[in-house]
Amino acid sequence: MSAVVRRSKTAKRRVLKKAKRRARRAGAAPRGRRRKPLAAAAGGGPRWKLLLPHLRRGRQAVISTHVNPDGDGLGSQLALAAYLKQRGLRVAIVNSDPVPRAYGFMDPRGEILTCRDPAARRAMDACKLLFALDNGTLSRMGDLEGWIRETPAFKICIDHHASQDDIWDLRLIDEGACSTGTLIYQMIRTLGARLNPAQALAIYVALITDTGYFRFSRTDASTYRLAADLLDAGVDPIWVYHEVYERNSLAYLRLLGTALSNVNIECGGRLGWVSLSRQQIDEVDGGEEDTSEIVNSLLTLDGIRMALLLKEMPAQKTKVSLRSKGEIDVNVLAGRFGGGGHRNAAGILLAEPLERGVERVLEQARRLLAAES
Q: Where do contacts with ligand 5GP occur on this chain (CB under 6 A)?
A: 136-137, 140, 161, 292, 321, 339-342, 345-349
Closer to Mn ion at the Cβ: 134 or 220? 134
Closer to Mn ion at the Cβ: 96 or 280? 96
- The count of chain residues that interact with Mn ion, using the rule CB under 5 A, is 4
Closer to ligand 5GP at the Cβ: 158 or 346? 346
Stretch that binds Mn ion, among 112-120, 139-147, 190-198, 208-216 (CB under 5 A): 208-216
Closer to Mn ion at the Cβ: 134 or 229? 134
Stretch that binds Mn ion, among 163-171, 203-211, 279-287, 356-364 (CB under 5 A): 203-211
Cβ 17 to ligand 5GP shortest distance, Å: 35
The strands making up 340-341's β-sheet, listed across from edge to edge, are 264-266, 271-276, 306-313, 317-324, 345-350, 340-341
Closer to Mn ion at the Cβ: 173 or 298? 173
Could you tell which of Mn ion, ligand 5GP, none binds residue 321, using a CB distance below 5 to 8 A set by kind? ligand 5GP
- Phi and psi, residue 234, nearest 5°: 115, 0
CA atoms within 13 A on the CB side of 332: 9
Cβ 81 to Mn ion shortest distance, Å: 17
Cβ 53 to Mn ion shortest distance, Å: 27
Could you tell which of ligand 5GP, Mn ion, none binds residue 229, using a CB distance below 5 to 8 A set by kind? none
Per the CB < 8 A criterion, the answer to whether 91 and 229 are in contact is no
- In DSSP notation, 315-326 reads TTEEEEEEEE-T
Position 72 contacts Mn ion (CB under 5 A)? yes
- What are the Cα distances from residue 16, in Å, to 9, 11, 23, 325? 11, 9, 11, 25
Binds Mn ion (CB under 5 A): choice among 61, 83, 210, 341? 210
Per the CB < 8 A criterion, the answer to whether 222 and 36 are in contact is yes
- Phi and psi, residue 325, nearest 5°: -120, 150
Window 102 to 161, contacts with Mn ion (CB under 5 A): 134
Per the CB < 8 A criterion, the answer to whether 218 and 178 are in contact is yes
- What are the Cα distances from residue 349, in Å, to 169, 230, 282? 27, 34, 20
End-to-end CA distance of the chain: 44
Cβ 65 to Mn ion shortest distance, Å: 9
Closer to Mn ion at the Cβ: 112 or 354? 112
Position 290 contacts Mn ion (CB under 5 A)? no
CA distance 284 to 38: 44
Closer to Mn ion at the Cβ: 210 or 312? 210
Site string for Mn ion, 315-344 (x = CB under 5 A): ------------------------------
**Nearest CA to 112 among 145, 77, 60?**
77
Closest residue to ligand 5GP, based on beta-carbon distance: 347
CA distance 79 to 195: 8
Which positions touch Mn ion (CB under 5 A)?
72, 134, 180, 210
